[in-house]
Structure 1
Amino acid sequence: MTAPKLAITDSDLSTTAVDAVVVGTIQGPDGPALAGAAEAVNAAFDGGLLDVLTTLGATGKAEEVVAVPTFGKLAAPLVIAVGLGKPTGDDVSEEQVRRASGAAARALTGKKRATSTLSALHLGAAVEGTLLGAYQFTAYKSSAGEAPVVRVDLVAPATGTVKAHRATVKASTAIAEAVAATRDLINTPPNDLYPASFAERATALAQGIDGLEVEVLDEKALRKQGFGGILGVGLGSSRPPRLVRVTYRGPKAGKKVALVGKGITFDTGGISIKPAAGMDEMTSDMSGAAAVVATVVLAAKLKYPLEVTAWAPLAENMPSGTAYRPGDVLTMYGGKTVEVLNTDAEGRLVLSDAIARACEDGPDYLIETSTLTGAQVVSLGKRTAGVMGSDEFRDRVAALGRAVGENAWAMPLPDELRGDIDSRVADLANVAGHRFGGMLVAGIFLREFVADGVPWAHVDIAGPSFHNGAPHGYTTKGGTGVPVRTLAAVLADIAANG
């Protein structure tokens, strides 16, 4: 993607020659109100900017965009007012700023330069929202259309030093770049993104960054080391599976964190084939793998004092004469056996191999994320991830996800469901004999492969990983990059608090 260039500014908004100035509006009890550092802009309108906006129908509701010509009152020809919604208490939240900045970035498409006052409310959120709202994926279009805004100058908050503001911009830009890298991988069509090419792109992302090491296991190495789940799922494809391991060892590394992400580069369902409707979205079934690879690269860029290892088990789930079948028994990494009752429950098979292997390294924490179950969407919808795992760590991950605007909700792993995945012929079956609590049953299955005593969390992003509707806030159509910002927040929290 071509991202806008960002810079901190303290220039006089009334005399700065840009294409547009962005201001925020709040949805108040008595009508809209201006937010942030809009005083200079309002003064140029002789204090009447709000009256003009109200006349044009502005209410301040979230993500509302109202454009006002300045008629020479400012050096900029246009003021773009973006709604922040109703304030939380006496202030607006970071997420409100993030979403408004995303809406503003889309409204600025095609312009060369703009100044945003939203950053005065929360600088980091404005950076993330601007970069992610401007995101475009045009690699496969013969005509890319209008480009994102080239440059956005950000008005700094009234408190804090210039050095601190620059550090915030740098860190928030790195986070947005990690999300964008994840989106790029998700949006790449499966004829170009398959296990081997994914491994190549993961290697390229890590190349040249201090502290990163990459290991790729091909099908021969997987067979030699006993990764029966990854191999079994990949049997039906002409493009063999891979296991990618990306390790970062930070300066004075304290805790050791394992990140595991599902990497099904396309999922037909295998022999238990999916309905045709919506199958095209299964190009996103590697969202978890993309997220963990991008996150470990981010950890290296931000130099977290941690050892972080990302594991991406990669396979293409296809029906063919060589595909695995319902009724097959697979021997997973570590020796447990699984009876396959449904080949469309393939994600838990590749993940189990990777989880078992990751636990051999003795991590202090393990986080796994995957587009695992349709039941997640039924339970929580398209925008809220389900988080399962060790109670305390599960709640910590879910809370941090909500704090950064990636909705996450803690879910239980009821013991009474464990018996539903008992197998007649093997240690486990890969699905239960019913459809009830499917998201929870999948989490219980994964729990069988987590080593005793390792705090862990499973983040089911089947809904939130891919957006097939109109853009909203800083979320564009296609891959969303969820849960990169959650993972980054968890790593930062572990680095700070253990």
Structure 2
Amino acid sequence: MKYSTTMSLASKSSSSCIIIGIYESKKLSVASENINSVASGFLTKLITNNDISGSLGSCSVIQPPNEIKAKRILIVGLGKYKDFGIREYRQSLKVAMNKINKRKIDNVTNFLTLEDVNGTSAYYLARHSIEIIRVSQYQFNQMKSKPKNQIKSVKSITLAIKNRSDIRLTKLGCKHADAIADGICLARDLGNLPPNICTPSYLGKTAQKLAKKYRNLETKVLNENAIKKLGMHSFLSVTAGSIEPAKLIIMKYKGTTKQKPIVLVGKGVTFDTGGISLKPSHKMDEMKFDMCGAASVIGTIAAIAKLKLPININVIVPACENRPGGNATLPGDVVKSMSGQTIEILNTDAEGRLILCDALTYAKRFRPKNIIDVATLTGACVVALGHHRCAIMSNDDGLAKAIFDAGEAIYDRGWRMPLGKEYDEQLKSNFADFGNIGDGAGGSVTAACFLGRFTSGMKWAHLDIAGTAWLEGQKKGSTGRPVPMLTEFILREAGLAK
């Protein structure tokens, strides 16, 4: 897809389709006022006749009058003028693109970028715009015998800008968003693939292919013998019941020689039956999404590598299945982690923390600037925060705030939750250093406390994405989150977000 900018008036645009908006109470957007003026009150008449509406989410495609050069005008409702912010902008553009994607339209000019979106900069308007446009064209039909291309892909996008000074920032925003959209789509593909295809070995091969694609990226995939030599017995306890071999995937992007790396750790359970603590059958198919943490960190490092950012990023993915079997770990088993700490496994369905703890210990060898683990870790997080925000937990206030702010800026949002001794005490065990679950209350927090026992001396944050990694129902599928949040955080760490 090609991207460009324009300072032309909406009435003079010769695009296949222009996107303009109207607010509730019949208030016109900047571009709508221009068209209405040139076309002798054309839009005012449509509003008066109730042919178009300014209510948020409404959308109409109309043939323009002779005075307008564009082939089509797409008018989207922007809601209340005083409430128009990033959420409303994104929702309006999503509605517009859903309409456009059903038609054969080669090029589109978006004039919604002329609106005042709570003071959002030209850079971030471009980021939001291109991400939404690219992701709106995503479709997963690789597994169908007769795939149907239901989206008529737009070939070029033009973003309207107010001033010449906005050109550089808009182009930079487009460049960043395009790479991030690639990362989102990669993460979604990995999440959506069935578990008989997206195995730990498949994840490893995907990481190796990325290393061949990007010069500054290298990948190493360790097998079970190498994992055992490292002393990762907690990790291996999860995969004991599966015939599918576990893999430890290490990816390194080197954009500079002067900085300690940021380490991203992603939970890579490619299918989670719960093990001996077997899950109920209802919605068990969705446990193929239990590797979305891994998918998101792989998608993030792919975006960083494409952008060639001047920063060092390492990714660690412990990848395995969690199945019952003759050799499966039993509730009550005690294992020794790579850190030397012993764990009583009280519930084999609390497996994500068992693979992440060894990966976090392994990460210490890189002497990271900070470390962020990403995991579909607990159902308790879904109860607490629903499907809109992921949970952020951290032992460092500055790191937690930086991640939170990054999510707010790009609307891939999180919410900080507490850590504390009163939660950590729930992990006490009579038979090992600690257990892998608490008493049931505050489950997402006690899970994070468990991980925190392996992060001493490191600035660490944990993202529980159990409620945001995939959608259910008719729109079932991976979301690719939190690739935007993670990439925005890294762009800010590199001093490149504007």
TM-score, length basis structure 1: 0.91
User: By percentage of residues, which structure has more helix?
Assistant: 2
Q: How does 1:293-332 map to 2 (within 5 A)?
A: 293-332=298-337
Larger displacement relative to structure 2 (294-303 or 80-89): 80-89
Match of 2:126 in 1: 123
Structure 1 unaligned runs (5+)? 472-476
Q: 1:65 to 1:288 in 2, by over 3 A?
A: same
Asked if 1:287 corresponds to 2:292, the answer is yes
Match of 1:474 in 2: none
Q: Deviations over 1:268-292 (max 9, x none)?
A: 1111111111111111111111111
Instruction: Determine helix, strand or coil for the equivalent of 1:440.
Output: helix
2:100 to 108, 114, 118: 108
CA distance in 1, matches of 2:104, 2:231: 55
Q: 1:497 to 1:44 in 2, by over 3 A?
A: closer
1:333 to 333, 338, 354: 338
Q: How does 1:222-371 map to 2 (within 5 A)?
A: 222-371=227-376
Q: Deviations over 1:228-276 (max 9, x none)?
A: 1221111111211111111111135434211111111111111111111
Instruction: Determine helix, strand or coil for the equivalent of 1:207.
Output: helix
Match of 1:194 in 2: 199
Q: 1:42 to 1:71 in 2, by over 3 A?
A: closer
Q: How does 1:158-169 map to 2 (within 5 A)?
A: 158-159=162-163, 160=165, 162-169=167-174
Asked if 1:153 corresponds to 2:133, the answer is no
Contact 2:18/2:72 (CA < 8 Å) preserved in 1? yes
Q: Deviations over 1:89-115 (max 9, x none)?
A: 7xx434433332222221112323232
Instruction: Determine helix, strand or coil for the equivalent of 1:496.
Output: coil
Contact 1:22/1:116 (CA < 8 Å) preserved in 2? yes
Letter aligned with residue 142 of structure 2: A
Give the aligned length.
483
Q: 1:60 to 1:77 in 2, by over 3 A?
A: same
Q: Deviations over 1:364-422 (max 9, x none)?
A: 11111110000001001111111111241223212321221112111001311212111
Asked if 1:182 corresponds to 2:174, the answer is no
Contact 2:291/2:376 (CA < 8 Å) preserved in 1? yes
Contact 2:7/2:161 (CA < 8 Å) preserved in 1? no
Letter aligned with residue 106 of structure 1: N
Contact 2:413/2:485 (CA < 8 Å) preserved in 1? no
Q: 1:252 to 1:64 in 2, by over 3 A?
A: farther
Letter aligned with residue 157 of structure 2: D
Match of 2:135 in 1: 132
Contact 1:313/1:350 (CA < 8 Å) preserved in 2? yes
Contact 1:123/1:157 (CA < 8 Å) preserved in 2? no
Displacement of 1:59: 4.1
Contact 2:260/2:367 (CA < 8 Å) preserved in 1? no
Contact 1:82/1:100 (CA < 8 Å) preserved in 2? yes
CA distance in 1, matches of 2:383, 2:424: 21
Match of 2:91 in 1: 99
CA distance in 2, matches of 1:192, 1:54: 56
Contact 1:119/1:127 (CA < 8 Å) preserved in 2? no
CA distance in 2, matches of 1:363, 1:417: 27
Letter aligned with residue 23 of structure 1: I
Asked if 1:457 corresponds to 2:450, the answer is no
Q: Deviations over 1:425-474 (max 9, x none)?
A: 11121111x2210010001000001132x211111110111012466xxx
Match of 2:61 in 1: 67
Asked if 1:375 corresponds to 2:418, the answer is no
Match of 2:479 in 1: 480
Q: 1:444 to 1:55 in 2, by over 3 A?
A: farther
Letter aligned with residue 414 of structure 1: G
Displacement of 1:164: 3.9
Q: 1:228 to 1:446 in 2, by over 3 A?
A: same
Q: 1:492 to 1:255 in 2, by over 3 A?
A: farther
Instruction: Determine helix, strand or coil for the equivalent of 2:27.
Output: strand
Match of 2:118 in 1: none
Displacement of 1:9: 4.3
Contact 1:384/1:407 (CA < 8 Å) preserved in 2? yes
Q: 1:133 to 1:99 in 2, by over 3 A?
A: farther
Asked if 1:171 corresponds to 2:165, the answer is no
CA distance in 2, matches of 1:252, 1:205: 21
Asked if 1:429 corresponds to 2:435, the answer is yes
Instruction: Determine helix, strand or coil for the equivalent of 1:149.
Output: coil
Contact 1:287/1:465 (CA < 8 Å) preserved in 2? yes
Match of 1:80 in 2: 74
CA distance in 2, matches of 1:155, 1:419: 54
Contact 1:234/1:317 (CA < 8 Å) preserved in 2? yes
Displacement of 1:12: 6.1
Instruction: Determine helix, strand or coil for the equivalent of 1:150.
Output: coil
Contact 1:261/1:290 (CA < 8 Å) preserved in 2? yes
Q: 1:168 to 1:470 in 2, by over 3 A?
A: same
Contact 1:118/1:126 (CA < 8 Å) preserved in 2? no
Q: 1:325 to 1:405 in 2, by over 3 A?
A: same
Letter aligned with residue 64 of structure 1: S
Contact 1:23/1:34 (CA < 8 Å) preserved in 2? no
Letter aligned with residue 102 of structure 1: K
Larger displacement relative to structure 2 (45-54 or 396-405): 45-54
Displacement of 1:57: 5.8
Instruction: Determine helix, strand or coil for the equivalent of 1:356.
Output: helix
Larger displacement relative to structure 2 (348-357 or 300-309): 300-309
TM-score, length basis structure 2: 0.91
Match of 2:23 in 1: 26
Q: Deviations over 1:34-76 (max 9, x none)?
A: 3343444334532331441463464434333222233655444
CA distance in 2, matches of 1:217, 1:229: 16
Asked if 1:47 corresponds to 2:41, the answer is yes
Displacement of 1:124: 2.3
CA distance in 2, matches of 1:85, 1:447: 44
Structure 2 unaligned runs (5+)? 116-124
Letter aligned with residue 494 of structure 1: E
Match of 2:408 in 1: 402
* Aligned-residue identity in percent: 34
Q: Deviations over 1:186-229 (max 9, x none)?
A: 11111110100111112213322121111111112111211112
Q: Give the superposed CA RMSD.
A: 2.3
